Structure 1
Amino acid sequence: MTHPISSPKPIHWVHVVHAYGQLFRLSFAGIAAAAGCAAVYALNPALPLSNYLLTGFILTSMTAAACAINDYWDIHKDRINHPERPLPSDRLSLPQAWWAAALLFASALIAAIPLGGYAFLLVAISTVLLWYYSLLLNYSGILGNFLVATIVAFLLLLSSLAADRPFALLYPIGFLFCYALAREVLWDVHDAEGDRVQGVVTLANVWGSQAAFSMIWGLIGVMLVSIPIATTLLPMGHPLWFAGCAAIMLLTLITALIPYQRQINEANYQQLVFWERLGMLFGVVGLLGTAPSL
């Protein structure tokens, strides 16, 4: 007895849109855009709306593109670490992810032109580094952590350039670098198995998760200690506002980090991701108090 060959199940456009939303990590991209716009406002609230729109668009596009190309290169690791993502679950194809990343990076570059030559150069350099990030990660995951943390911190530099005050946010840039580095090392703890299979050298899979957590706690300690020093010595417009929001952001991370360190599992990881992103919103609000007055 023969059975008829069934045709492929049609994919509804809603499912495709949802898959792209997951590929782009839209919540994270939105936080990046909000942080950039908040920094622009803190530096110069009298700027025209176009500066906010361009900054927000660039950061949204670059963040989404970085997530897409990262998943493109990391599909073999994600089949182990994140099988639910659009590419390993076959809800999107590799060419779809590649073209989406290319178009978003190109859009960010075009949008950076009106902000001036330095902003365009910063976006161009970040685009090249983000495109080849996963390949550099295969050479050294630890180097990759520092690279990503640097690029994340550059979002405040882009905002400073958009507001024509390039050196006004040096402390927040350093603070964000430490936070992003701790975050990258933390994600490596979750991804250790897939990284180990692919031969990626990270702190978690070479020296163990406890060494990774030690570095994370060290970076959190540096940030906590820096808050009262910075608010006392630096000419911030609203130092107490920044101190309160930054403390809440770090305490939110700590609250989720403790149970994850005690028991590394998927449920605690998802809780960690949720609370970490919620805490980042407080960090965005805190940026409004960091800039010195005009």
Structure 2
Amino acid sequence: MSVGERVRGLVELTRPGNAVAAGALTFIGAFVAVGSGASSVQTLVAAGATTLAVGAGNALNDYFDREIDAINQPARPIPRDAVSPRGALVFSLALFAGAVVLAATLPPLAIGIAAVNLLALIAYTELFKGLPGVGNVVVGFLGGSTFLFGGAAVGRPRATVVLFVLAALSTVTREIIKDVEDIDGDREEGLNTLPIAIGAERALYVAAGFLALAVLASPVPYFLGTFGAVYLTVVGPADFIMVYAMVESFDDPTAGQSRIKYGMFLAAVAFVVGRLAM
């Protein structure tokens, strides 16, 4: 195995697109909280800490999931021998260390959020992933908290609470659909995910319930007077995309969970646009 292939494998472990996107969501959280008045240093440090932590969590998840991935995702770095299990674990710990160093420079509440999230990331695969619905809720909290962390980093976490709730609900929806997608490999590994515990179709209805809550709550910033009509013009299409993706998931979970992600990003853009229009 060449050095280039090993480096490529390490980068792939982090799911760089997801890690950078998480950092961008933290940046958005800071911007929504205080607009252009956000400290660029604090915002960038928080975004960097999020990116490293998510990359570390993804690498750690691949370490613990290497046997499942040999069935569900054989092209991932560990199953295809681009990275050894030990190498993936060491790399993950190094990224976690970098995230801790950056987070330690932020305000106390941001440090507290970072500490809770780091512990949840480390414990996720071994403690939560195999518990029906619990793992999905943990991932939802982690996804939504990227915005909350950004707000806390600039001293205004309350301004991002609604965004946190909406993102968490949408993320739980997507995670349940992903479990339906991975049901064969998870069953082979002996995990007891929500689709395995109650059936794929019922699990999808549970996911639809979480998404319905998110869609119904999405106009709240408008009715509270936080954002104006411009926000609604963007969040409306985001809601439509996610509802369409949810319906699609009953026939094609892979396509559905992928499409929901686009709706989630568009919803985040709605908050940015809403802030710009203030």
TM-score normalised according to structure 1 size:
0.86
Give the whole-Å Cα distance in 1 for the aligned partners of 2:8 and 2:264. 23
**C-alpha contact (below 8 Å) 2:132/2:197 kept by paired residues:** no
Contact conserved, 2:26 with 2:146, CA < 8 A, in 1?
yes
**What does residue 63 of structure 1 align with?**
54
Q: Aligned equivalents of 2:155 and 2:277: distance in 1?
A: 14
Distance change >3 Å, CA 86–CA 241, structure 1 → 2: farther
**Aligned AA for 1:19?**
G
Query: Residue 141 and residue 41 in structure 1: after superposition, are their counterparts in 2 closer, same or farther (change >3 A)?
Result: same
Deviation at 1:247, TM superposition (A): 3.0
Describe how 1:32-51 pairs up with structure 2 within 5 A.
32-44=22-34, 45-51=36-42
1:27 equivalent in alignment to 2:11: no
1: CA distance between counterparts of 2:241 and 2:129? 32
CA distance in 2, matches of 1:227, 1:65: 31
RMSD (Å) for aligned C-alpha atoms:
2.3
Contact 2:167–2:264 at 8 Å: present in 1 too?
Answer: no
Aligned with 1:169: secondary structure?
A: helix
- For residues 152-173 of structure 1, the C-alpha deviation after alignment (integer angstroms, 9 at most, x for no partner) is 2221221111121121222111
Select the residue among 212, 224, 227 that pairs with 1:221. 212
SS of aligned partner of 2:178:
helix
How far is 1:24 from its partner? 0.9
- Equivalent pair of 2:130/2:193 in contact (CA under 8 Å): no
Is it true that 1:11 corresponds to 2:2 in the alignment?
yes
Letter in 2 for 1:240: A
Work out whether residues 29 and 63 of structure 1, in 8 Å CA contact, stay in contact via their aligned partners in 2.
yes
After the TM superposition, which residues 167-246 of structure 1 pair with which residues of structure 2 at under 5 Å, given as runs? 167-228=158-219, 230-236=220-226, 238-246=227-235
Aligned to 2:266: 282
Unmatched 5+ stretches in structure 2:
none
Say whether the 8 Å CA contact 1:243–1:286 is kept in structure 2. yes
Contact 2:177 2:257 in 1 (8 A): no
Structure-2 separation of matches of 1:34 and 1:97: 24
Q: Which amino acid letter does the alignment assign opposite residue 71 of structure 1?
A: D
1:42-95 per-position Cα deviation (integer Å, ceiling 9, x unaligned): 222212210121121011111111111111111111111111111112111111
Contact 1:239–1:289 (8 Å) recurs in 2: no
- Partner of 2:158: helix, strand, or coil? coil
> Which amino acid in the other structure matches residue 241 of structure 2?
T
* Residue 254 of structure 2 is aligned to residue 261 of structure 1: no
Unpaired runs of 5+ residues, structure 1, are 1-9
CA 1:91–1:239: 2 relative to 1, 3 Å:
farther
CA distance in 1, matches of 2:32, 2:222: 19
Larger radius of gyration: 1
Sort the Cα spacing of 1:257 and 1:244 in 2 relative to 1 into closer, same or farther, 3 A. Answer: same
Q: Flag the 1:259–1:180 CA change in 2: closer, same or farther, 3 A.
A: closer
Which residue of 1 is the match for residue 240 of structure 2?
251
Once residues 292 and 167 of structure 1 are traced to their aligned partners in structure 2, the CA distance between those partners, rounded to angstroms, is: 18
Contact kept? 1:43, 1:293, Cα under 8 Å: no
Matched length: 277
Structure 1 residue 218 displacement after superposition: 1.5
One-letter amino acid of the counterpart of residue 288, structure 1: V
Q: Is the 8 A contact 1:245 1:286 kept in 2?
A: yes
TM-score, with length taken from structure 2: 0.90
Comparing 139-148 with 243-252, which one deviates more in the overlay? Answer: 243-252
Deviations 1:221-253 (A, max 9, x none): 22222223x0443231x3434333333333333
The residue identity in structure 1 corresponding to 2:215 is L
Q: What is the alpha-carbon distance in structure 1 between the residues aligned to residue 104 and residue 241 of structure 2?
A: 37
